[in-house]
Amino acid sequence: MLKKIELILWRTKHVINQSIPTMLQLKFRKQAALAAMLFVVNELSRRSIRADFIKVFKILYFADQAHLVKYGRSITGDTYVAMDFGPVPSQLYDMIKAVRGDSFFHEEGSKYKDMFTVENRYEIKPQDVPNMDNLSATDLRELEASLNSYAPIDSIILSQQSHGPAWSQTDKDRYMDAANIMREAGANEDMINHVSEMISLEKALNDGVPASC
């Protein structure tokens, strides 16, 4: 078993070295992402703040960024897209559009309508509370910190604040590199390489090692 793990680690480093400057892409954590979004939307509702797309997406973005830099893992694992109003979590956005009824996967919307609805095209309304089992203590800490910092800010101003280097270095409507998102928050290259190695190792372990190895 030890020999297999050593082989996986070697192959992980080899893949990383061969793939530079490949974009660092995280693993989407669907249940955690849904729980995080519901937590944010419910909390905004409790504070009597409109949960429009910009507000929700930017609170999630800054929480994901902070958690990634501090703990080497994103809360949602979502890949952000550089859109006009700032970073947008691509897979969550697809789910929300499915509920709204204008996604390529609109038939998927029925799976989530018991959790949330979309009103006035851009406002998310909670229909349920999040499954807290899908969020860790550190997830909640960063979500709460992001809410406290950004919920009171006007959505347009918040959008402008999200136009940092990671967003500006990405072509419009393209995926943002998680490495740049980390750099924007002050992560050094050692931390970024560590996260990249852990992602590749997890993928290698999930894929398995060929028996011949």
3-state secondary structure of 87: strand
65 close to 182: Cβ distance less than 8 angstroms? yes
Q: Which amino acid is at 28?
A: F
DSSP 25: -
- Radius of gyration of the chain from its Cα atoms, rounded to whole angstroms: 18
5 sits in which H/E element: helix 2-19
Q: What is the pLDDT along the chain (213 residues), one digit of tens a residue?
A: 544 444 444 444 444 343 335 788 888 999 999 999 999 999 999 999 999 999 999 999 999 999 999 999 999 999 999 999 999 999 999 999 999 988 676 677 888 999 999 999 999 999 999 999 999 999 999 999 999 999 999 999 999 999 999 999 999 999 999 999 999 999 999 999 999 888 888 777 766 544 434
62 close to 74: Cβ distance less than 8 angstroms? no
Residue 117, beta-bridge partner list: 125
Question: What would the two tokens of residue 137 be?
Answer: 């203590």
What global pTM score does this model have?
Answer: 0.84
